[in-house]
Amino acid sequence: GAGSQVLDTELREITVPDLTSALPTLGTPAVLRARTAREFQQLRTDVDAVPLATREFSRIEHLLIRLPTYGPGGTTPALQVHLLNRAGSSMHELHAEPAPAAGEQQIDLPLAALPPGEYVVEIKAGDQDGDAKELVAFRVTG
């Protein structure tokens, strides 16, 4: 109305990655969960699956981690994916495969074999120290 006024303002600086760069770039990982084999098969092909905000899961669950990947010239960069323990040591190499949405890759992570504890999935595009890297931390309960 006529008496309206601005009460507050906020200024934020946002860094937007250069997706036309000659170096591979990774987007933000999304974590998806399935509780049954049938749910997991449906999840693998569901483009519209809703990611979770939680990072605490039980051993009966099966995770699928999806992330957009950008390579030079529109290529899909090869990913190196490792499951790390709480100390940061690599426990297991995981494999990325194309996701149902163009430009995305997904990582299959069954939790049944993991003892309760805290873990990190390290996703790297390339094998150099300065290459793009994303970390997904999560906890497995009993």
pLDDT for the residue numbered 23: 84
Residue 82 lies in a domain: yes
Residue 12 lies in a domain: no
Residue 33 lies in a domain: yes
What total number of domains does the chain contain?
Answer: 1
CATH of the domain at 61: 2.60.40.1930
pLDDT for the residue numbered 33: 97
Residue 20 lies in a domain: no
Residue 19 lies in a domain: no
The residue segments making up the domain with residue 42 are: 25-141
pLDDT by residue for the chain (142 residues), tens only, comes to 577 888 999 999 988 877 777 888 899 999 999 999 999 999 999 999 999 999 999 999 999 999 999 888 878 899 999 999 999 999 999 999 999 999 999 999 999 999 999 999 999 997 677 689 999 999 999 8
pLDDT for the residue numbered 18: 74
Residue 17 lies in a domain: no
Q: Please give the full DSSP string across the chain, using - where no structure is assigned.
A: -TT---------------TTSSS-EE---EEEEESSHHHHHHHHH-TTPPPPS--EEETT-EEEEEEEEE-GGGPPPPEEEEEE-TTS-EEEEE-EEE-SSTTEEEEEEE-TTSPSEEEEEEEEESSSTTSEEEEEEEEEE-
pTM given for the model: 0.84
